[in-house]
Amino acid sequence: MEATIRRTLAGALAVVLPLLVLAGAGAWLLRPEPWSPSESVQQIDANLAAKPFSVVVVGPSFSRTDVELRTLSENLDLEPKGAVTMAFNSAGPATWYAMLKYRVFDAGYAPKLVVVVTTIQSLLAVTPSPTYLHDLTDQFAEPDDTIRELTFASERPAWMERALQRRGEPRAALLKAFRDGPAALFYVGSDGADAETIADEAGKEVFGEEHEAGSFQMVGGRVADAHEELGLFGGGVADARQGYLPALARLVHAHGAQLVVVFAPTAARFQPSQYLPDAAEAEILALGNELGVGWVDLRQMKLSDDAFKDGRHMRPPAAKEFTLQLAERITAIGATRPGPLVRPIAPLALQSVERIGAGPTLDLGTVAAGDGPCKATITLTGAASLAEPRLATLPWRRRSPIEVVQGDRLLKRTRGGEALTDGCIGKYSYADGRIDVRLAKGPSGAIELRLADALPVRDGKEDEAWWLWPSTSLKWTYGAPPEAEGAELTVDVEVRPVETAAAAPVVRVGERQVELSLESGRFVGSLSVPRPEGPWSIEVESPAGAAYAEVHALTWHVGEQLQDVVAPAVMRWADLAKAAEVRGSATSAFATATVTPEGDHGWIAAPWRNVSGCSPLSVLADGAPLEHARPDSFDARMPPESGLAHLKDRLWFPAAAAGSSPAYTVGLDPERRCWAKACRSCGTRLWVYPGDKLTISPSEDTRRAEGGLRLARVRVLAVAAAGESDAAPLAFELRLGDQTVATAALSLAAMAKGDEVPVRPPVIGHYGQPLTIELQNPAENPPMLFTLWGGAD
């Protein structure tokens, strides 16, 4: 019996004791990681607790120097006012994530906006360098799944990592005891050093860099070592999708905040390094759009090198300017309120544009000396088609492809309306099939005519022309578009030859030819092809014997990639207004008007004074509208260019032909445009009539600008009328898709005649949803002139 009890007890102990050993080892291995905040973490926590904040700025060191927190919070429409920065030197996405998670969100803070100021390359980083690893590991007792997987390349659960991390400690301690004890006994002159130091120092001295191999670090047992063995320190990923951006977006959005990534400017010498290849940037941008991350790209912000302390970190004045722009951009993309942000679209980069073929040799014609010093006349023969009258038929008459060269000096062409004065001024002008030249001072040289083959030919800051001459072609080559299912590439083209009766150009998209039709002297065509998989090109070829021509319009779009090839680099509000569909709700009521004859003209009393240089009025004679009212009464009074002129409170127009007595009615010009001769900006102005809800929908073409839609000012000019000081505010709204991105109540109370009320609409860049502008003018107001005017930053 006793033996049985002993055997049973022994059997039980044989099971229990090992289990206790295993359980004890397991408990020791799995015990929660002790953690006490480091000094830097305590500092961060203290900063966060000091005052309320709605904005958190994270990033490396320049996120601290470049962003003025007070300026930022004051210029963002967020409550509570307040912003904090969490930044470490060379901090990367892993550290930002850790700080946001452990210092901000897990601590119960609820900012509305997280701003990451960084470089685009950093978005691909997943591991900090060894020097800065502690900035990451200081944030937590043990990392969460995201950090464990992305930074430490571990897919194991936390408890297993803990066990694997700790398991080598007893062994290492035992090995060190056996290693260090004899070392201390043998070492002479130890200077009081402990055994471990003696053995370590001796090991380093004897084995050098290899010493670590004998330090009993567990490969895979310690995160740092595993990482080093895997070569992951300071490393990144090729695909941002495998980096921290998705995790950051999830973390921030899960707590109801918006995430905006900002690329800051640097000194000029560092700028090239701030960019990734276009395709890589486009991919990151596309990922951010998909994740609902806002982008603010200020890498091209104009700052002198002196604005930086070291090329990277801004001085306070530059930081203020940067912060103001940053606040503006953040507001523009809608990041100060919940909901989807304005999504930029990365444009497809042009790989090359080239002119293929040399073009014709110009027959100079006859050069004759003029009747004075430095005078000469060139009678154009072979290039007659490029004579001034022909060019006058084109809107861009100033962008002639002909250059006049004297020796090695390019002579300047006179501007429209500029008289060619005498003297050695180095200029020329066209006149009736000839070119009058005023030679330049200095050594004279032979006068030569040549074709300006710049692509495009620019005259001034804005005007440009893509000239195509016979036996040459222009070819634009693009890279492969990003992946997009079911998207076709559509190319629209318009070629305007100088002579209408000319052979048609040949337009090809890759190998496919665009069918062109001749409309009003222009060759137009459109072609849709399957989305190209690789690089693709558009080629416009002018056959031999064809006229000189201009590629007037060339646009393409595939998926969300859009480009207006021959448009200016920057799409401005002015162009937007021109291409807009304008719908007004106010009716254009016309009332019979009493005409007062005066000389060759008559006038009708205008219901409103014209102080703006434009007129909202239209006059019909027997139901047929006269020309649009012009603000310049000089035109109205000067035959034969007579027309309708709105001068102050009178509408002037030429008298009817003898023997006729039309009935005149006056009302609002239904087109709502501003008409004036030689008024560059008039086409950008729009009338908003009393009771009008004006909807402006720019055409899709406006999305195609290479540089996207840029910041501009919007002006509203009041028409002087009785009681304008009591005018009700004009409501302005700018929408992208269904989302309102800008609103304003344009109060006219303080507006004097001719003053503007500036409205700063958001920066749109490349936008992916339909753009709509709405203006509502209360019925009791006079017509208001709304000007879309401005330029790039």
Q: Is 633 exposed, middle or buried (0-12, 13-18, 19+ CB in 10 A)?
A: middle
Q: How far is the CB of 4 from other proteins (least distance, A)?
A: 10
Bridge partners, 260 (sequence order): 115, 294
Q: Which of residues 116-145 bind other proteins (CB under 8 A)?
A: none
* Options 168, 294, 568, 782; binder of other proteins; rule CB under 8 A: 168
Query: Does residue 19 belong to the site contacting other proteins (CB under 8 A)?
Result: yes
CA 769 to chain centroid: 15
Judged by CB under 8 A, which stretch of 141-149, 213-221, 347-355, 357-365 contacts other proteins? 213-221
Judged by CB under 8 A, which stretch of 134-142, 165-173, 419-427, 483-491 contacts other proteins? 165-173
Q: What's the angle, vertex CA 661, arms to CA 656 and CA 664, rounded to 5?
A: 80
Q: Which of residues 694-753 bind other proteins (CB under 8 A)?
A: none
Site string for other proteins, 520-549 (x = CB under 8 A): ------------------------------
The helix (H) or strand (E) run that includes residue 745 is strand 739-746
Total residues contacting other proteins (rule CB under 8 A)? 52
208 vs 599, beta carbon nearer other proteins = 208
226 vs 378, beta carbon nearer other proteins = 226
Query: Does residue 224 belong to the site contacting other proteins (CB under 8 A)?
Result: no
Alpha-helical runs (H) found in 208-244: 223-229
Query: Does residue 386 belong to the site contacting other proteins (CB under 8 A)?
Result: no
Cα–Cα distance for residue pair 266/270, rounded to 1 Å = 6
* Options 45, 74, 144, 201; binder of other proteins; rule CB under 8 A: 201
CB distance 377 to 359 below 8 Å: no
Query: Does residue 160 belong to the site contacting other proteins (CB under 8 A)?
Result: no
Judged by CB under 8 A, which stretch of 214-222, 462-470, 485-493, 548-556 contacts other proteins? 214-222
Q: How far is the CB of 199 from other proteins (least distance, A)?
A: 5
Q: How far is the CB of 128 from other proteins (least distance, A)?
A: 22
Candidates 128, 140, 61, 158; CA nearest to 103 is: 140
Query: Does residue 194 belong to the site contacting other proteins (CB under 8 A)?
Result: no
Query: Does residue 187 belong to the site contacting other proteins (CB under 8 A)?
Result: yes
Candidates 486, 490, 494, 609; CA nearest to 540 is: 494
CB distance 483 to 290 below 8 Å: no
In this structure, the dihedral spanned by the alpha carbons of residues 652, 656, 660 and 661, taken in order and rounded to 10 degrees, is 0
User: b/e per residue, 762-783, with b = 16+ CB within 10 A?
Assistant: bbbbbbeeebbbbbbbeeebbb
In this structure, the dihedral spanned by the alpha carbons of residues 8, 9, 10 and 13, taken in order and rounded to 10 degrees, is 120
Judged by CB under 8 A, which stretch of 77-85, 208-216, 399-407, 497-505 contacts other proteins? 208-216
The helix (H) or strand (E) run that includes residue 325 is helix 316-332
157 vs 311, beta carbon nearer other proteins = 157
Query: Does residue 589 belong to the site contacting other proteins (CB under 8 A)?
Result: no
User: b/e per residue, 265-292, with b = 16+ CB within 10 A?
Assistant: bbbeeeeeebebeeebbbbbbbbbbebe
* Options 87, 150, 183, 402; binder of other proteins; rule CB under 8 A: 183
Q: How far is the CB of 178 from other proteins (least distance, A)?
A: 4
Q: How far is the CB of 161 from other proteins (least distance, A)?
A: 12
* Options 34, 189, 534, 640; binder of other proteins; rule CB under 8 A: 189
Judged by CB under 8 A, which stretch of 10-18, 40-48, 416-424, 702-710 contacts other proteins? 10-18
211 vs 735, beta carbon nearer other proteins = 211
Q: How far is the CB of 233 from other proteins (least distance, A)?
A: 17
CB atoms within 10 A of CB 562: 24
What residue has token string 């969460």? 144
CB atoms within 10 A of CB 317: 11
* Options 27, 46, 108, 178; binder of other proteins; rule CB under 8 A: 178
Query: Does residue 25 belong to the site contacting other proteins (CB under 8 A)?
Result: yes
| First-to-last C-alpha distance (Å) of the chain | 100
Candidates 469, 463, 611, 604; CA nearest to 540 is: 469
Query: Does residue 233 belong to the site contacting other proteins (CB under 8 A)?
Result: no
Bridge partners, 784 (sequence order): 688, 718
Sites of contact with other proteins (CB under 8 A): 3, 6-7, 10-11, 13-19, 21-22, 25, 167-171, 174-175, 178-183, 185-189, 198-199, 201-203, 205-207, 210-211, 213-214, 216, 218-221, 226, 229
